[in-house]
Amino acid sequence: MPIPSAHTFSRRHMLRLTAGAGLLFLAGGLLRPGDAQAAAFAAPALPYAENALEPVISAKTVGFHYGKHTLGYFDNANKLVAESPLAGQPLEKVFLEAAKDPKMVGLFRNAAQAWNHVFYWNGLTATAGAPSGKLAKAIETSFGGLEACQKALAEAAVSQFGSGWAWLVADSTGKLSVVKTGNADNPLQDGLKPLWVIDVWEHAYYLDYQNRRADYVKGVLDKLVNWDFAAKNLG
């Protein structure tokens, strides 16, 4: 799949994105196509070039992580959902409903991982700034400041045993917290709103950092967090 320049989507990319029946993500926000006709989940293109996240995450890692893993989850989810009673439903609904049925564990894992990965890609940017406005106030209220928030995210990401994710989330009252999930699990399953996430599956960092997960986490938190994306998810 061609990779557009940072935050730039051609008409062709947009048509491909809006062809899918499900929750699709764009850089800086979410797209919920109301007139989608296709039954398949469309995998969005990366919102930046493969080398845009260097030197923290190499183009080689992005190429494998997106091209093999992310697209692989979409391919598998499409095959599995076609054989299920959830065919034609949005991606978010598919993984949340599949999570409740042990017979659909394969569909849950692949649909949730498709969702999680696109959320992860959109949460990264080469032009990281700092939280502002409502998000900055929520971080101050919930954590006591950005440094404490980043420390909580780092601790969750490094301490997650095995594969998984560390999430910045909001509850129904707007209070922020950090949670970690294993494998394909997502905070939406617990009624929490995801704002931002870091992937700590080994395929996210092993080519660049081998077993030094903490170095990968620090690099992402220091230089690549898309706070605008988190702010838009907070609302």
> Is residue 228 annotated as involved in ligand binding?
no
Crossing angle, helix 146-159 and helix 213-223, to 10 degrees? 150
Q: Which amino acid is at 96?
A: L
Q: Which of 44, 47, 38, 45 is nearest to 20 (CA)?
A: 38
- CB-based contact 20:42 (threshold 8 Å): yes
> Is residue 199 annotated as involved in ligand binding?
yes
Q: What's the CA dihedral at 163, 129, 190, 75 to 10 degrees?
A: -50
3 state DSSP class of 185: coil
> Is residue 215 annotated as involved in ligand binding?
no
CA angle at residue 210 from 46 to 151, to 5 degrees?
75
Supply φ then ψ for residue 9, to 5 degrees.
-125, 130
> Is residue 65 annotated as involved in ligand binding?
yes
Q: Which of 132, 166, 172, 135 is nearest to 152 (CA)?
A: 166
Annotated binding site: 65, 117, 199, 203
**Binding site, annotated residues for Mn(2+):** 65, 117, 199, 203
